[in-house]
Amino acid sequence: MLGEGILKGMAETAKNFFGSYFSAERLTTVEYPEQRIAPYEAARVFPFLVFDGSDWEAGMRCVACQICEKECPPKCIFIEKSKDKKPDALGKQQFYPARFDIDISVCMSCQICVEVCPFEAIKMDTEYELSTDNRFGGLLLDRRQLAKSNQYYHQIHPAEADGVDARLAAEKAKADAKTKITAEAKTAAIAGEGA
Amino acid sequence: MSEMQSHSAILADKPESWNRPAVMEPEGEGELMEVAMGPHHPSTHGVFRMDVALDGERVMRLRPVFGYLHRNHEKIAEGQSYLASMPYTDRLDYICPITNNWAYALAVEKLAGQEVPERAEYLRVILGELTRFQNHASSIGFLTQEMGAMGTPLMYAFREREKILDLFEELTGARMMVNYMRFGGCRVDASPGWLERTRKVVAGLAGFVDEFDRLLSTNEILMARTQGVGVLKAELAVNAGVTGPMLRASGVNYDIRKVDGYGIYNRFNFRVPLGDHGDVYDRYMIRMLEMRESIGILQQALREIPAGPVMSPTAKLRGFRPKRGEAYGRIEAPKGELGFYLISNGGPNPYRYRVRPPSLINLTVLEDMCLGVNVADVVLIFGSVDIVLGEVDR
């Protein structure tokens, strides 16, 4: 009969329409902003700089090696190295970024800066409600705005942050073991000279 | 009128062996009406313009004008490293970022002679077939949208697409611009939880295709509007370099997954659907059938995926300098043959980086298909080519 295909199709439509009152499978939207879907752990929006402890300047892991600046595809990271050095988590004297700006209107959230960073200093944030009405610099984040604590990192990416902490602790243990061996060798040498 | 005369002079130069229909002449007196369809047009799938010359409602000449989305992708790639071009490939055919990544990774791996571990190959196939599924569903959705179905099939397709995009976000961090493939494997491994969730999603896909089929395939309006419309003969399709579902709808058995067997595709059991008439209905049906074949491949891959690393141990992230040489890597992208041609001069940046965009090459036969049809059919024929302007313009 003519129109049979159309009627079959309308039966499908009716199934979906009335079904959406009963099954969550068929009603897949949420009423944003009253309801929000939690982001996945792996979600990435824009980068941020991790700092350990409570002082964002002293605890910042970034040593201004500028690898992320070189590898960034749209070149949205602008770094200026400091003139002096400060001690890092392992006690070594390192440079730090006097200026670390990311232009998030250019950033394409590709995560290459995170992949190439050798110091676990830059990670991806999940904050996406970032609109601003300041068109002349509202989307250029400086290092103060980018600095977020390691606790915050644990909140947004728990498994990843645990892995990073484990790696850094292993590095610290290796460095400590090396200094212990060097210190013991030194005391043994001094004792040997004395005897 | 003079512009029309020079236009017909250009068209008349084509050799007879191309099997083109003769350039149409209007019946009766009067001038042809020149209409610019686009670039602001809801049915041009992006910013694309078609200059059509109409005799009443029938198309006499059609000239495609593109370039509105040109973003200098190939030139930018010459100025940055190979890795830095990977996120840009996401943005070529932005509906299918995974397959773009894969084609580029394949080309660079050929250039550098890089091996890929087995688990990474399986992950590539799983994500590639999920991408093909959501691309074909969306493409049918957009086609029916242009027929006036006011978005219902499109929204059903998008509901499944949302599930697939959620899987992508969980694995790679981003729904669309995934930046997932690397030269020598994949960026991150898939957890067992992710594989379980993927199996659940894939288990629901067959029911969705059945529903979609019941909704659309025997619909009288759809059949009346698409059967016999926009016929593309097999000989013209092959001569023009058309690939993908459009070529197979014209009856030519050419699927690069079978021909090249790139990656591990020769391990999978799947059929290649072929069309009989080469009209819009065949192209629609081919996409529907390919969705079913994709489900088969997905189930097989999810069963057989082995444990192991996802990055080759010899892969380099920074300081990657392939030796002098050239390579062409191509895959069966959902739109056709997507190829990357790379020339390396030994430095960190490619010397020449060329994308073979299937959407653009498939568009070269648009005029041949559209001569003599109504404007409404032009919209349908254009929709059945299934283009994405990001790829056409790069």
CATH code: domain of residue A115: 3.30.70.3270
Indicate whether A42 belongs to any domain: no
Indicate whether A34 belongs to any domain: no
Distance CA(B308)–CA(B279), nearest Å, equals 45
DSSP character string of A63-77: ----HHHHH-TT--E
Shared-domain flag, residues B83 and B58 = no
Q: Is A139 on the interface with B (CB under 8 A)?
A: no
Contact B166 A73 (CB under 8 A): no
Structure tokens at B330: 């191509």
Handedness of CA B328, B332, B336, B338 (dihedral sign): negative
pLDDT tens readout for residues B275-331: 998 899 999 999 999 999 999 999 999 999 999 999 998 888 888 899 899 999 999
Indicate whether A161 belongs to any domain: yes
Kindly give the residue spans of alpha helices, DSSP state H, lying in chain A.
Answer: 4-19, 56-59, 67-71, 112-116, 143-146, 150-156, 158-194
Q: Is the pLDDT of residue B262 over 60?
A: yes
Domain limits at A93?
47-184
Kindly give the residue spans of alpha helices, DSSP state H, lying in B305-323.
Answer: none
What is the pLDDT, as a whole number, of residue B302?
Answer: 93
Question: Which residues of B fall within a CB distance of 8 Å from A109?
Answer: 174, 177
**Nearest residue to B120 (alpha-carbon basis) of B91, B88, B98:** B98
Shared-domain flag, residues B91 and B178 = yes
What is the pLDDT, as a whole number, of residue B8?
Answer: 45
Contact B173 A5 (CB under 8 A): no
* Nearest Cβ partner for B174 among A9, A109, A115: A109
Contact B83 A71 (CB under 8 A): yes
Please give the sequence-ordered ranges of beta strands (E in DSSP) within B218-351, or none if there are none.
325-333, 336-344
**Residue A180: band (very low, low, confident or very high) from pLDDT cuts 50, 70, 90:** confident
pLDDT tens readout for residues A52-96: 888 888 888 898 899 999 999 999 999 999 888 888 777 788 888
Question: Which residues of A fall within a CB distance of 8 Å from B221?
Answer: 6
Interface of B with A in 84-123 (CB under 8 A): 84-88
Q: Is the pLDDT of residue B358 over 90?
A: yes
Shared-domain flag, residues B246 and B297 = yes
Handedness of CA B103, B104, B109, B111 (dihedral sign): positive
Shared-domain flag, residues B249 and B340 = yes
Angstrom distances, CA of residue B109 to CA of A147, A148, B91, B102, B124: 37, 38, 21, 10, 14
Question: Which residues of B fall within a CB distance of 8 Å from A72?
Answer: 84
Indicate whether A107 belongs to any domain: yes
Shared-domain flag, residues B211 and B305 = yes
Q: Is the pLDDT of residue B19 over 50?
A: no
Distance CA(B133)–CA(B159), nearest Å, equals 12
Q: Is the pLDDT of residue B4 over 50?
A: no
Shared-domain flag, residues B333 and B243 = yes
Among all residues of chain A, which has the CA nearest to that of B78?
Answer: A73
What is the pLDDT, as a whole number, of residue B23?
Answer: 60
Q: Is A40 on the interface with B (CB under 8 A)?
A: yes
Shared-domain flag, residues B37 and B104 = no
**Residue B9: band (very low, low, confident or very high) from pLDDT cuts 50, 70, 90:** very low
Q: Is the pLDDT of residue B5 over 50?
A: no
Question: Which residues of A fall within a CB distance of 8 Å from B80?
Answer: 73
Report the number of distinct structural domains present in chain B.
2
What is the pLDDT, as a whole number, of residue B98?
Answer: 94
Among all residues of chain B, which has the CA nearest to that of A42?
Answer: B173
Indicate whether A193 belongs to any domain: no
Indicate whether A165 belongs to any domain: yes
Contact A44 B174 (CB under 8 A): yes
Interface of B with A in 242-271 (CB under 8 A): none
Distance CA(A171)–CA(B359), nearest Å, equals 50
Q: Is the pLDDT of residue A195 over 60?
A: no
CB B195 within 8 A of CB B119: no
Distance CA(A83)–CA(A36), nearest Å, equals 45
Shared-domain flag, residues B26 and B125 = no
Angstrom distances, CA of residue A14 to CA of B150, B163, B239, B359: 15, 22, 46, 36
What is the pLDDT, as a whole number, of residue B24?
Answer: 63
DSSP character string of A40-52: PTT---SEEEEE-
Q: Is B285 on the interface with A (CB under 8 A)?
A: no
CATH code: domain of residue B301: 1.10.645.10
pLDDT tens readout for residues B90-100: 999 999 999 99
Contact B169 A43 (CB under 8 A): yes
Domain limits at B302?
73-393
Closest Cα in chain A, distance from residue B294 (Å): 22
Please give the sequence-ordered ranges of beta strands (E in DSSP) within chain B, or none if there are none.
33-37, 49-55, 58-65, 181-182, 185-186, 325-333, 336-344, 352-356
Indicate whether A149 belongs to any domain: yes
Domain boundary among B27, B42, B65: B65
* Nearest Cβ partner for A124 among B162, B173, B317: B173
Which of A7, A8, A12 is the best residue to mutate to test the B interface, defined by the most B CB atoms within 10 Å of its own CB? A12
Whole-number percent of chain B with pLDDT over 70: 93
Contact A9 B216 (CB under 8 A): yes
Shared-domain flag, residues B284 and B322 = yes
Indicate whether A28 belongs to any domain: no
**Nearest residue to B298 (alpha-carbon basis) of B134, B107, B106, B180:** B134
CB within 8 Å of B340: residues ≥ 6 apart = B103, B104, B106, B107, B108, B328, B329, B330, B353, B354, B355, B356
Angstrom distances, CA of residue B183 to CA of B94, B190, B331: 20, 17, 15
Shared-domain flag, residues B47 and B182 = no
Contact A28 B223 (CB under 8 A): no
Q: Is the pLDDT of residue A172 over 90?
A: no
ipTM for the predicted complex? 0.86
Among all residues of chain B, which has the CA nearest to that of A67?
Answer: B318
Among all residues of chain B, which has the CA nearest to that of A16?
Answer: B156
CB B278 within 8 A of CB B232: yes
Which of B180, B220, B225 is the best residue to mutate to test the A interface, defined by the most A CB atoms within 10 Å of its own CB? B220
Shared-domain flag, residues B115 and B28 = no
Whole-model pTM: value is: 0.89
Report the number of distinct structural domains present in chain A.
1
Closest Cα in chain B, distance from residue A181 (Å): 32
Shared-domain flag, residues B197 and B117 = yes
**Nearest residue to A72 (alpha-carbon basis) of A118, A127, A111:** A111
Q: Is A118 on the interface with B (CB under 8 A)?
A: no
How many CB pairs (< 8 A) connect A and B?
78
Domain boundary among B42, B65, B88: B65
**Residue B352: band (very low, low, confident or very high) from pLDDT cuts 50, 70, 90:** very high
What is the pLDDT, as a whole number, of residue B44?
Answer: 67
Q: Is B83 on the interface with A (CB under 8 A)?
A: yes
Domain boundary among B11, B37, B65: B65
Q: Are strands B325-333 and B336-344 parallel, antiparallel or unpaired?
A: antiparallel
